[in-house]
Amino acid sequence: MTTISNVAAQDSALPKVRVDLLPLLLVPVLALLMLPLIGSFPTWVTLTVAGLAMGMMVFMMASGLTLIFGLMDVLNFGHGAFVSVGAFTATLVLLPMKSWVEADSILLNLSVLGLAILLAMLVTGLLGWAFERIIIRPVYGLHLKQILITMGGMIVAEQLIHVIWGAEQIPLQLPTTFRGAFIIGDAALEKYRLIAVGVGLTVFVTMFLVLNRTKVGLLIRAGVENGEMVEALGYRIRRLFVGVFMAGSALAGLGGVMWGLYKETLTAAIGGEITVLVFIVIIIGGLGSVGGCFIGAMLVALIANYAGFLAPKVALVSDILLMVTVLLWRPQGLYPVAKR
């Protein structure tokens, strides 16, 4: 008995756990770098908060997609459909409950937002279940067909939104207490943006806790690495897939609600519009990595805002330029996930 322990102890001292902090530092470094370029501190604050808020919302929309891809090796080109459906479902709460929206009470406003989010996540979660069963399940492992079929699914979903809600734009009213901004010194911090940051952080922390502290989370992380072994340990990975797909779709729905309110008008194409952005974010972050997705979303959003102020024409393609730069540095994205 002692032989092995000794041998093992002589083998090596406790191996150092290298936590890859470099990508994490990119966000504050970028923000600080921009300060001298922008010149005025208040403007910088406004832009940074705007970037963080947008980043949070993009993270919410993208996180589900990257997790689904990491675990199930399925890329849902129709992910934007869940964003759109989420946003439109929110209207089913926000429009009838106009009084709560217009009330000057933060409690009522937060409640109606909460209800809208709840309904949206429920509907998109169920839609995700149906999508997985009907559209995705027959094409596991067949990437080509997956791409085609999920695109088809998105087209159908977008058209169905037109059928149900009509083809015109729907204005979404921002709840009263969410309007306007806090003025601190010379800087204006829009209230809704702060709420978005709050919601986004809650989502991120929750995901972090689930993935790291619960058995289900461990199963997901293990499944991303080696699904076969998870099955050999006695877990039905198929059920895990369905659960993750539903969760990912619900997250997209949540993101859709926040994004829709941010833009204040809804069109069925709202999901399709951000599809490219979401793809860029998950490529930058590394397919399958939630942490990478978070950082990627922050970087993309911050750069879009800074560039929008400093060099508007560049801003439109800033996300692509960022993607190319990151890929040249780390071809698999910021945090490549260990694959079998």
Partner 1 sequence: MSEPLLQLEGVHTHIGQYHILQGVDLLVPKGGITVLLGRNGAGKTTTLRTIMGLWHASRGSVRFAGGDITQSPTPEIACAGIAYVPESMSIFSDLTVRENLFLAARGVKSADQMDEARLEWIFGFFGALKKFWNQPAGTLSGGQKQMVAIARAIVEPRKLLLIDEPTKGLAPAIIQGMIAAFRELKQTETILLVEQNFSFVSALGDSVAVMDGGRIVHSGSMAELTEDRDLQHKLLGLSLDTHQ
Partner 2 sequence: MIKTLLSSDLPRSRLLSALLLVVLFGLALAPFLFPGARSLNVAATICVFIVLVASYDLLLGYTGIVSFAHTMFYGIGAYGVGLALHSMGPSWWAIFVGTAGALSLSLVLALVIGLFSLRVRAIFYAMITLAVASAFAVLASQLSDLTGGEDGRTFRVPEILQPGFHLFEGEILGRAIDGKLITYYLVFCSALALFLFMLRIVNSPFGRVLQAIRENDFRAEALGYRTVIYRTLANCLGALVATLAGVLMALWLRYVGPKTMLSFEVMTDILLIVVIGGMGTVYGAVIGSALFILMQNYLQVLMREASDAMAAVPLLANLFHPDRWLLWLGVLFVLSVYFFPTGIVGRLRTRAAVRRPR
Q: Looking only at residues 63 through 102 of this chain, which bind partner 2 when binding is defined by CB under 8 A?
A: 69, 75, 77
Alpha carbons 208 and 53: distance in angstroms, whole number = 19
Q: Which of 156, 184 has the CB closer to partner 2?
A: 156
Total residues interacting with partner 2, rule: CB under 8 A: 38
Determine how many CB atoms are found less than 10 A away from the CB of residue 88: 25
Annotate each residue in 4-43 with x if it binds partner 1 (CB under 8 A) or - if it does not, as one string: xx-xxx-xx-xxxx--------------------------
Using CB under 8 A, pick the residue from 279, 294, 306, 335 that binds partner 2. 279
Minimum gap (Å) between residue 285 Cβ and partner 1: 16
Using CB under 8 A, pick the residue from 271, 272, 288, 291 that binds partner 2. 272
Q: Looking only at residues 190 through 249 of this chain, which bind partner 1 when binding is defined by CB under 8 A?
A: 215, 218-219, 221-222, 224-226, 228-237
319 in contact with partner 2 (CB under 8 A): yes
Only one residue has tokens 């960022």, namely: 322
Minimum gap (Å) between residue 126 Cβ and partner 1: 25
Listing DSSP states for 194-257 in one string gives HHHHHHHHHHHHHHHHHHHHSHHHHHHHHHHH-HHHHHHTT--HHHHHHHHHHHHHHHHHHHHH
Alpha carbons 291 and 9: distance in angstroms, whole number = 33
The partner residues of 189 in beta bridges, in order of sequence, read: 182
Q: Looking only at residues 128 through 167 of this chain, which bind partner 2 when binding is defined by CB under 8 A?
A: 135, 138-139, 143-145, 147-149, 151-153, 155-156, 159-160, 162-164, 166-167
Segment near partner 2 (CB under 8 A); pick from 107-115, 188-196, 252-260, 318-326: 318-326
311 in contact with partner 2 (CB under 8 A): no
Using CB under 8 A, pick the residue from 4, 313, 338, 340 that binds partner 2. 313
What is residue 3's DSSP assignment? H
The partner residues of 188 in beta bridges, in order of sequence, read: 183
Q: Strand, helix or coil at 180?
A: coil
Q: Which of 163, 232 has the CB closer to partner 1?
A: 232
Tokens of 147: 């791409």
Q: Which of 10, 99 has the CB closer to partner 1?
A: 10
Listing DSSP states for 99-114 in one string gives HHHHSS-HHHHHHHHH
Query: What Cα–Cα distance (Å) separates residue 264 from each residue in 67, 91, 110, 180, 267?
Result: 29, 11, 17, 14, 10
- Helix axes of 237-263 and 106-131: crossing angle, nearest 10 degrees: 140
Using CB under 8 A, pick the residue from 1, 21, 144, 328 that binds partner 1. 1
Alpha carbons 340 and 338: distance in angstroms, whole number = 7
Alpha carbons 288 and 282: distance in angstroms, whole number = 8
Q: Strand, helix or coil at 171?
A: strand
Q: Which of 45, 322 has the CB closer to partner 2?
A: 322
Q: Which of 229, 276 has the CB closer to partner 1?
A: 229
Only one residue has tokens 């989010």, namely: 117
338 binds, among partner 1, partner 2, none (CB under 5 to 8 A by kind): partner 1
Alpha carbons 100 and 193: distance in angstroms, whole number = 20
Interface residue list for partner 1 (CB under 8 A): 1-5, 7-9, 11-12, 14-17, 215, 218-219, 221-222, 224-226, 228-237, 337-338, 340
Interface residue list for partner 2 (CB under 8 A): 69, 75, 77, 135, 138-139, 143-145, 147-149, 151-153, 155-156, 159-160, 162-164, 166-167, 272, 275-276, 279-280, 283, 287, 313, 316-317, 319-320, 323, 331
